[in-house]
Amino acid sequence: MKKKFTLLTVILLTLGLVLAACGSGDTKKGSDEGKSGDADKKSDTDFKVAMVTDIGGVDDKSFNQSAWEGLQAWGDEHGGEKGENYNYAQSNAKSDYMPNLTRLIRDDYDLIFGIGFELLEDLTKVAKQYPDNHFAIVDDVIEEPNVASITFKEHQGSFLVGVAAAMKTKTNKVGFVGGIDSPLINKFESGFIAGVKSVNPDIDVDVQYAESFGAADKGKVIAKDMYNKGVDIIYHAAGGTGNGVFNEAKDIKQNDPDKEIWVIGVDRDQHDEGQIGDHNITLTSMVKRVDVAVQDVANQAVKGSHHGGDHLEYGLEEDAISVATTNKEAMSQDIIDAVEDYQKKILAGEIDVPKTRDETEQFLKNL
């Protein structure tokens, strides 16, 4: 009888282990399903989000920095810790994009952002290689079912800072410094020219590209050339390269405090970058709330809405594009009023702001 009892006990224990193993297998499957759409099964503190910068770097005082600020805000909102729930991978060269993306995948991040259109090719590759992982790209569109595409209506904000520049210039010469000559940065250029010319068609707009988002030295050289030609306001859409534009303007102001020259910042309110002694050479900034978009998409992902395959566009209507008025001395009330009037016209559909050079050419013909 004792032997029978012992044998029965062994059978029951073995059966229990088999059932436990089956249960363990179901749990792992549920985790995999969570990665492919059921993220709401994870608590906020278990969810992990990361981003890969472009070569401008996380402290470019512009685009990447804004994205990182959004990710940090998301982390604070959910009680997360840097390195655990949210993090970034710094790219110092294009060759860093793929290793950074794959490292974050290995580290089991639930959502990975690629910051900037330069990551398009590499992010497309990893999205196809890891179909059960979730990604998002900022400033371009990837048509894969596990990638959310985030873009902005930069041309709208660029038009409005163009209005401000046209009303502020004393020389009737303004400049635009772009990072890489590309469809994205052409949106900034096109909107800016249209805004300037809408106020005064006779203003000259000098357009130059540095072909880099991380070359402050090139930005400084281009800015020096423009200012020497009589340009008194430069709008940059050049990431870290734009730091060189600020440096040149501050050097000129340092040597000649009475000289009126200005820089228009981009992506973030770059008022602080323009401070030089008692002066500030930042006229305004075209604020593109990358931080808001990143935080918004991450929050939706926590709830299970990854927007894979969706194209999310943020503009004036979503309060994701705006014009900074921090420099009260430079942005007079008449300039602010004019900017607000043009903004109302854009929102009402009375002005269709151009996004390309061809559209800009047609827009100027109709002025």
- On whether both 238 and 304 belong to a single domain, the answer is no
Please check whether residue 16 lies inside any domain of the structure: no
Mean per-residue pLDDT for 146-151?
98
- On whether both 126 and 206 belong to a single domain, the answer is no
Q: Helices in 204-355 by DSSP H: which ranges?
A: 216-228, 242-255, 290-302, 333-347
Q: Using CA atoms, how far apart are residues 55 and 252, in angstroms rounded to an integer?
A: 28
- On whether both 87 and 171 belong to a single domain, the answer is no
Q: How far is CA 340 from CA 179, 262, 334, in A?
A: 28, 21, 10
- On whether both 297 and 175 belong to a single domain, the answer is no
Q: Look at the chain and report how many structural domains it folds into.
A: 2
pLDDT reported for residue 31? 30
The residue ranges of DSSP E strands in the chain, in sequence order, are 49-52, 86-89, 111-115, 134-138, 147-152, 173-178, 204-209, 233-237, 262-267, 275-276, 279-280, 282-288, 311-314, 321-323
In which band, very low, low, confident or very high, does the pLDDT at 61 lie, cut at 50, 70 and 90? confident
Mean per-residue pLDDT for 62-73?
94
Q: Using CA atoms, how far apart are residues 305 and 297, in angstroms rounded to an integer?
A: 8
Q: How far is CA 323 from CA 40, 50, 101, 272, 289, in A?
A: 36, 28, 33, 15, 11
- On whether both 300 and 264 belong to a single domain, the answer is no
Q: 210 exposed, middle or buried (CB, 10 Å; 0-12, 13-18, 19+)? A: buried
pLDDT reported for residue 88? 98
In which band, very low, low, confident or very high, does the pLDDT at 21 lie, cut at 50, 70 and 90? very low
Please check whether residue 159 lies inside any domain of the structure: yes
Residue 353 pLDDT > 50: yes
Please check whether residue 25 lies inside any domain of the structure: no
Q: In angstroms, how far apart are the furthest CA atoms of the chain? A: 107
**Domain residue limits at 257:** 154-288+332-365
- On whether both 207 and 244 belong to a single domain, the answer is yes
- On whether both 272 and 164 belong to a single domain, the answer is yes
Residue pointed to by tokens 């580290």: 107
- Per-residue model confidence as pLDDT tens digits over 274-309: 999 999 999 999 999 999 999 999 999 999 999 999
Please check whether residue 35 lies inside any domain of the structure: no
Q: Using CA atoms, how far apart are residues 351 and 357, in angstroms rounded to an integer?
A: 16
String of DSSP letters for 73-99: HHHHHTT--BTTTEEEE--SSGGGHHH
% pLDDT > 90, the chain: 84
- On whether both 253 and 213 belong to a single domain, the answer is yes
Residue 47 pLDDT > 80: yes
Q: What is the mean pLDDT of the chain?
A: 89
CATH of the domain at 250: 3.40.50.2300
Mean per-residue pLDDT for 195-220?
97
Please check whether residue 126 lies inside any domain of the structure: yes
Q: Using CA atoms, how far apart are residues 333 and 2, in angstroms rounded to an integer?
A: 97
Among 35-44, 157-166, 198-207, which is the least confidently predicted range?
35-44
Alpha carbon 189 to its chain centroid, in Å, reads: 17
- On whether both 160 and 104 belong to a single domain, the answer is no
